[in-house]
Amino acid sequence: MIFQLGGALIDGCVLAALSKEDAYGYALTQRVRSAMDVSESTLYPVLRRMQKEGYLTAYDQNYQGRNRRYYSMTSTGWDRYRQIAREWIEYRARVEEILLEGTYDDQTSLS
């Protein structure tokens, strides 16, 4: 994708993925990757920062003799998720209004 990924967008995708269920780092990376190009080396510092900001908590759970670090949203994380989602809806509507106005009609295909 050619669009730059901002911190709020990455945060929003992490929080959206965690809104469904707690997840360990690798699984969370895979979920976020389905929406944007992000590596584990990018995501782990984001997760640590989000913990420090109070949006996430982490806990370890044994899996086949190894510990997995799971992440869970806090109530502050839920508030942040709702805020980002509202702002995304507004932003997307403004971009679509400009991007798709005038040049797109039945004779022009965007595909």
Give 45-76 pLDDT, tens digit per residue. 999 999 999 999 999 999 999 999 999 999 99
In a domain, 1, yes or no: no
When pLDDT is cut at 50, 70 and 90, the band that residue 81 belongs to is: very high
Per-residue pLDDT band at 24 (split at 50, 70, 90): very high
Report yes or no on 44 lying in a domain.
yes
In a domain, 108, yes or no: no
Give the domain CATH number at 70.
1.10.10.10
Establish if 104 belongs to a structural domain: no
| Side-chain-facing half-sphere of 85: CA atoms under 13 Å | 12
Does residue 70 form part of some domain?
Answer: yes
Where does the chain have alpha helices with state H? 7-20, 25-33, 40-52, 75-99
Which among 93, 98, 6 is positioned nearest to 14, based on CA atoms?
6
Closest C-alpha among 39, 38, 72 to residue 55: 72
Whether 23 is covered by a domain: the verdict is: yes
Show the tokens assigned to 84: 């980002």
Q: What is residue 105's predicted lDDT score, i.e. its pLDDT? A: 57
Range of the domain at 13: 7-99
Q: Is 46 within a domain?
A: yes
Q: Is residue 2 part of a domain?
A: no
Domain count of the fold of the chain:
1
Residue 74 pLDDT: 98
Using left for φ > 0, alpha for ψ between -120 and 50, and beta otherwise, residue 64 falls in left
State how beta strands 23-24 and 56-63 pair: unpaired
